[in-house]
Structure 1
Amino acid sequence: MEAESRLEKPTISVYRAASARLLASIGDISIGALTRSDVRSAIWLTELESPSQARIGLISLRSALAAAVHEGVIEWNAASQQNLAPRQNRQTRVMSDDEVRALKTIARESAQVKGSPGSVILRRLIDILFDTGMVISEALALRYGDFRETPDGHLVVRVSGTLASRGEMKLKEYSEDSSKNRVLDISDRVADWVRDEIAVATDGPVFESTLGGWVHPNSVNRWWRKMVRGTGLEWVTPHTCRATVKAALVSQFGVAVASTLMGYTNTR
């Protein structure tokens, strides 16, 4: 597993074992705001191939174990002696124009296959990601009410929030003065299907789960990996789309404008 090649296997093993014991206590007592679902989700993250997601899981488990010690549920946090590998700053690879076209073609063809879960969502999501450079959790938080017609008949979208998970997915709205709260142009291709959906939809999620709620980013990641398997684009993730848009904006408009459009709070 790639995550274990960058994070020491003993570290992951200790965290999982300690957290598994902790699960037996959660539910009968309160450990901060933690639930069994929170801890299970964190354990699940440590099993993913992505080093960054595995690290998030380990950090969440460390917090859970520390809270359990503080509240007297367990006497000692075994994971406290395990050092996490330092986060490495590495530049995300940017896609070429040909690779972008190839990914869109793969998504379009996948959406035409019956019984392919999430394929229609992925096709539309990829178009929006390349149009706007949104973070995946921002794109999945879009509602039809976030789209507006300009006086000249052009459709734009407001990035008004992001999805946050504490057991279940919830919308976390950006404040009006947040740099993340921004209005972005979208292509005619996206505008066409958005207008069609707005004609029949209420102000619900643009990307809706089969149960009628928000689509979880983990579901998108699972569908995504299946879609790109064997295509030569296995290295591409939703974040790669954002990095590609950022590079294009910086090249065309400079760092300051690109940072504003991407919703950064600084220009680094």
Structure 2
Amino acid sequence: MARPELPIGTAGKIRTEKLGPGRFRARVRFRDYDGVTRDIEVTDTTGPAAVRALKVKIRDRSTPNDDEISRETRINALAELWIEEITAEERIAAQTIHRYQASLRTTILPALGNLRIREASVGRLDRLLREIAKDRPSAAKGVKVVLGQMFALAVRHGAIPSNPVRDTGRLRKPRRTVVVLSGEHLHAVRAAIRNWQQPVPGKPGPRHTGDLADIVDLMLATGARIGEILALRWEDLDLATARPTLTICGTLVYVKGQGIFRQPWTKSDAGYRILVLPRFAVGMLMARKVTAADNPHDAIFASRRGTWLSPNNVRRQWRQARADTDLDWVTPHSFRKTVATLIKEEADTKSAAAQLGHSSEEVTATYYIAKPVQAPDVSDVLERLAANPNRPHPPTLQNDAGR
């Protein structure tokens, strides 16, 4: 019966022979990745040394093809080809690609860029991810996503048989405590904004507008993201009905080279939503409409030049307003969490998720709702453990031996 053919990418039995004084040859039959079986040989000063060198040569053997990605391709070149591919596909948002590029530039390429694809072992990648996760667990998660997609491209091109990122360990998730604003906190927030907006005699520069206070009020009235609030146009409002509404149908994004612009779709399909406004928000918007200056974007919150108001500028203004307070922990996302928690308490998690534009109630419950776990009421059972012996007790507990 004919000898079975070697599986692709495997070698037969290594044979050694002495060629002369201090010269040995190790030889093996290897079935290449194109299906052709070839002889591979290495010479060295001793037989074991020749065998070791041959094993390294087999390990590093790449597919004999003309593909631009092989086992010998360096990771910085793989990264460049991957970015070119996802950009050409137009499947991923430009700001997401910008975030991927930042992860490559600041973390991945400094650590791995000069390595060849074959040198990116599971252990090496795992150590890198765990080192990042020590101080920056969220960054480590982003790095793992980027590496996973890069090496998936290498697998598709036949450079490696499997994706090493898939075999790295799970990254720890930091324990999250959702903190929301109480009524006292909200009063302090509004007071801080009012104080910040007061003109300071003798201070140069333009006077602060009332935008920050109105933006915070609208975030509290809707639970919307700051980018969604700043992307609102007057045409997105319907204030003439008995129950005035606001439609979230876009968000502001920043892309390097393009600046701030309005993306005419939300973060997810669930983000496209119509929200009924509370009375305090309706009053604020009607007052703004009376004094609003025209701008080319029809933006509710526009800069003095009529451009979109940058989310980073609003965050900076809030940091300035809270500078002399104990509100350092309050961010624009705190308002969103406060809205979610209040709706959950008064209605349910499903309503909170819909208000925030989440497709999953689990995300809302885990990351946006502050709620201690409610244990079942077993107080009557625990009453049997009372310490007062003169007090009448319910029937005593039975132990396992008495059953």
Deviation (angstroms), 1:65: 7.3
Please name the residue that 1:216 is paired with: 310
Q: Find 2:215's aligned residue among 125, 141, 150.
A: 125
Deviation (angstroms), 1:59: 5.4
Whether the aligned pair in 1 keeps the contact of 2:271 and 2:358 (CA below 8 Å) is yes
Instruction: Spell out the pairing of 1:37-186 with structure 2 (5 A cutoff).
Output: 60-64=101-105, 82-83=128-129, 84-85=132-133, 86-87=137-138, 88-113=174-199, 120-149=210-239, 151-152=241-242, 154-167=243-256, 168-174=259-265, 178-186=269-277
Deviation (angstroms), 1:119: 5.2
TM normalised by structure 1 equals: 0.67
The separation in 2 between residues aligned to 1:119 and 1:94, in whole angstroms, is 27
The 3 A distance-change label for structure 1 pair 238 and 118 is farther
Q: Find 1:232's aligned residue among 308, 326, 331.
A: 326
SS for the counterpart of 2:194 is: helix
Unaligned runs of 5+ in 2: 1-75, 77-82, 88-94, 117-124, 139-173, 363-403
Please name the residue that 2:341 is paired with: 247
Letter in 2 for 1:174: W
The 3 A distance-change label for structure 1 pair 173 and 62 is same
SS for the counterpart of 2:302 is: coil
Give the total of aligned pairs. 214
TM normalised by structure 2 equals: 0.46
The separation in 2 between residues aligned to 1:161 and 1:231, in whole angstroms, is 33
The separation in 2 between residues aligned to 1:169 and 1:108, in whole angstroms, is 28
The separation in 1 between residues aligned to 2:206 and 2:213, in whole angstroms, is 12
The separation in 2 between residues aligned to 1:117 and 1:57, in whole angstroms, is 34
The 3 A distance-change label for structure 1 pair 68 and 233 is closer
Letter in 1 for 2:244: L
Structure exhibiting the larger radius of gyration computed from Cα positions: 2
The CA RMSD over aligned residues, in Å, is 3.7
The separation in 2 between residues aligned to 1:214 and 1:68, in whole angstroms, is 34
Q: Which has the higher contact order (CA 8 A, sep 6+)?
A: 1
The 3 A distance-change label for structure 1 pair 68 and 210 is farther
SS for the counterpart of 1:179 is: helix
The separation in 2 between residues aligned to 1:122 and 1:66, in whole angstroms, is 35
Deviation (angstroms), 1:75: 5.3
The separation in 2 between residues aligned to 1:122 and 1:63, in whole angstroms, is 35
The 3 A distance-change label for structure 1 pair 169 and 151 is same
The 3 A distance-change label for structure 1 pair 57 and 98 is farther
Residues 60-90 of structure 1: CA distance to partner in whole angstroms, max 9, x if unpaired? 4233579999xxxx8569xx88543223351
Identity of aligned residues (%): 23
